[in-house]
Structure 1
Amino acid sequence: MIEIELDIFSGRPNPRWTLSPAEQREFLERVINGGVPMAPVSVSDGKLGYRGFVVHTTGTVAHTLKEKKLPTYFRVREGMTTKVDISSEQWLLASVEQLGLQEVVVEAAAEEIVAQPLVEEATALATCSYHVTSSTNFDFWNKESRHRLNNNCYNYCSNWRTNTFAQPGRGTGKIFTSLTVAAIKDAALRDGYKTTCSGGNLRVAFAIWPGVDYHWWRKTKSTSSGTARYCHKPGSTNARNKDNSGNYITSPYSCDRGKYTTWGGYLYGPGSSRQTVN
């Protein structure tokens, strides 16, 4: 079996679907013939928005790939390898039609399916701000794949690794019902976030990809020059300290947020998030 994951969301779980038998045969042939730009799943530009496809294989398909000494779990994204052929990504995007995915999501991916510069594999303001983690060392989130894959931006902003791909409101019994600023903010408030500082809080911020997804940032330890940085974790990719343009984030309001164009505002994280965020 071949399961495809469109790596595009930051807060919500990514869309997944299974290729039909005919599609599996065609895609397997492409892979074996070297026509698919494959990279380790951990290799990602980490941008907000489209980051390629993740391919999960099992059963006879995985067995065939192993016999050919090919990976059974890999990322398909042009620019992550030395290959320059976007047709495989376009083919995979066409196979998503069976899901009935929002047109805006498909269009966003289609716009980004272009060759990108080669990247190296990852090795890994207010007085209220509580700087609990480094702005440069993300081993806590990135070192082990099970932690990287199962924690998202909401986990990161809460500084709580649940391995459940945490969702606003779920931990307190009422998850958000729409992807609007008001709905996401209300869900976070139910989880214990606050609109004002009460001492020792995490300073966080969020924005919305209207009707599609949400994303969160958290203020972290200042640099040696005294400059505060915000860091974030786009979906199941690595936690990082740069925006979509590759710049350090000193203000999530003014940084390059990609498709997350609707600003949600700042909140202050609860000290009890370990009991409320899930």
Structure 2
Amino acid sequence: MLEVELDIFSGMPNPNWVLSNRQEKTLLQLLSNEPSQASSVKLSGNRYGLGYRGLVIRHIKTDDGTWDAAISKGQASFPNEFRVGIKPATSDSAADWLLKTAMRQGVVLADEIWEVVSRGVAVAPVTRGPRDPTAAIDRKRIEVPKIRADVPYKPGVEPHETWWACGSNYFTANAGVFNAPDHVLRNNCYCFASNHLADVRYALPGRRGGRPATSLTCGGVIDGLRADGWKDGCEPNALTIVMVIWPNFDYHFYRLVTGGPYWWWGHKPGGTPAKYTDDCGHAIYQYQGKGYAPNNICRGGYTEFYGYFYQNNWTAFVA
């Protein structure tokens, strides 16, 4: 049994649907005719941005359908999880066909979602200039709290694990930690912004604090942030984030990852790699008040800017 996930959101769960046996047969034929359409689900490159990032095909259950039969007989060979739509097809596109199956499987997508998808995969151009803030930061060992997936959460008890990071004060340029193979798919933008390697794919503002965000509005999400301990505004040497919203659909966060004189920001679009560049390829940093910051960068459909929030902690725990 195959599940299709339309990878388009950063914080909220993506639309998904299950293929029928007949649809599995068609997909198998399309991919067998052109296997190069299937690529790694982890998107190891850093050029993919906010918006449409192809479709993830996931084997969720073994049954007697066409897909499992072909795999078991050695007639086809595909991993249990892969992505289509990243690499262009030279003939019939599996991604284009899969998008049509959404409606047939009862998934209703808003016109704005279709419009974003119609523009193709969000790929940021490569621009010249500094792209990695870690080179100028002294590397040292620090202890950062992390909730492991196999440790049940108990209020007031925070399991700790020591891992390498770059940073000073509360600034930690650690995209590589979140981009490790075991974690890149399992942490969203809120996990990265909170500097919490939570392995919670759809961490939601307020869930940890007991008041999960109930609406994709400024007030709804900010109430969740406050429940998780975030305060409005900025403060020196604090864990600082910025929230933006794609109205009615999704939220996204940026985290300040270095201090001055170069103020670098990072972000993680959903289950794809964290990075220090925006959707236009700009390095997100400012020097002497000039450059790019979350308020003036390319953010795709995330047009609503809702300001700065901070905590006086290395990590803001999320769930």
Task: State the TM bucket, normalised to the shorter chain.
Answer: 0.7 to 0.9
Label 1:117 to 1:273 Cα distance change in 2 as closer, same or farther (>3 A).
closer
Which has the larger share of strand? 2
Label 1:94 to 1:216 Cα distance change in 2 as closer, same or farther (>3 A).
same
Q: Indicate which of 83, 99, 102 corresponds to 1:96.
A: 102
Structure 1 portions without partners, runs of 5+: 119-128
Label 1:132 to 1:65 Cα distance change in 2 as closer, same or farther (>3 A).
farther
Which has the larger share of helix? 1
Separation (CA, whole Å) in 1 of partners of 2:124 and 2:269: 19
Corresponding position of 1:125: none
Q: Is the 8 A contact 1:192 1:272 kept in 2?
A: no
The residue identity in structure 1 corresponding to 2:219 is A
Separation (CA, whole Å) in 1 of partners of 2:122 and 2:281: 18
Corresponding position of 1:77: 85
Aligned length: 260
Using structure 1 for the length normalisation, give the TM-score: 0.84
Corresponding position of 1:242: 277
Using structure 2 for the length normalisation, give the TM-score: 0.73
Please, which moves more after superposition, 30-39 or 201-210? 30-39
Q: Is the 8 A contact 1:170 1:277 kept in 2?
A: yes
The residue identity in structure 1 corresponding to 2:30 is R
Separation (CA, whole Å) in 2 of partners of 1:179 and 1:261: 13
Q: Residues 41-80 of structure 1: matches in 2 within 5 Å?
A: 41-43=41-43, 45-57=47-59, 58-59=61-62, 61-62=67-68, 64-65=70-71, 67=74, 68-78=76-86, 80=87
Corresponding position of 2:154: none
Separation (CA, whole Å) in 1 of partners of 2:36 and 2:184: 25
Q: Indicate which of 156, 159, 162 corresponds to 2:198.
A: 162
Q: Secondary structure at the match of 1:99?
A: coil
- 2:211 aligned with 1:211: no
Instruction: Tell me by how many angstroms 1:35 deviates.
Output: 6.4
Separation (CA, whole Å) in 2 of partners of 1:86 and 1:49: 23
Percent identical pairs in the alignment equals: 34
Label 1:221 to 1:235 Cα distance change in 2 as closer, same or farther (>3 A).
same
Corresponding position of 2:28: 28
Corresponding position of 2:134: none
Computed over aligned residues only, the root mean square deviation of the Cα atoms, in angstroms, reads 2.7
Label 1:62 to 1:244 Cα distance change in 2 as closer, same or farther (>3 A).
farther
Q: Residues 163-202 of structure 1: matches in 2 within 5 Å?
A: 163-165=199-201, 166-197=203-234, 200-202=237-239
